[in-house]
Amino acid sequence: MILTIVRITIIVLIVAVMLTGLVGAKIVVPLGLAFLVLAIPYMIGGIICLYLPYSWTCDWAGTHSPGGKASFDGCSQHSKCRKCGADIMQDGQGNWF
């Protein structure tokens, strides 16, 4: 989650620097602040979905959390979700579903 926030911040800074040269700081600064204000609920929602201990987050958001044990069958990682107890697999991006 922290890496995602850092990546978004770096992208925003790069775009802001490019836009400052084109349109000036009087336009870029309010746009950057508006982006941050809009991004805060998105980040809070992600944190809530990942760290709430309730199983409804698995059904509603599809964010499973692997338990302590994971097995590898030669093709993919398997585990049990620590929230809902469902059998889950890890995709190539590192996400559990």
Per-residue pLDDT tens digits of the chain, which is 97 residues long: 566 777 777 787 777 777 667 666 677 777 777 877 877 777 777 776 666 666 666 766 666 778 778 888 888 888 888 777 888 888 877 777 7
The DSSP secondary-structure symbol of 55 reads T
Would 95 be classed as within a structural domain?
Answer: no
- CB-hemisphere CA count at 13 Å for 15? 12
Q: Rounded to whole angstroms, what are the CA distances from 72 to 65, 66, 77?
A: 16, 13, 5
Would 83 be classed as within a structural domain?
Answer: yes
Would 94 be classed as within a structural domain?
Answer: no
pTM above 0.75, yes or no: no
Q: 46 and 6 in one domain?
A: yes
Structural domain tally of the chain? 2
CA-CA distance, 44 to 17, in Å (whole number)?
27
Phi, psi of 57 (to 5 degrees): -70, -30
Phi, psi of 81 (to 5 degrees): -70, 130
Q: 43 and 8 in one domain?
A: yes
Would 82 be classed as within a structural domain?
Answer: yes
Q: 83 and 65 in one domain?
A: yes
| Full domain range(s) for residue 78 | 60-89
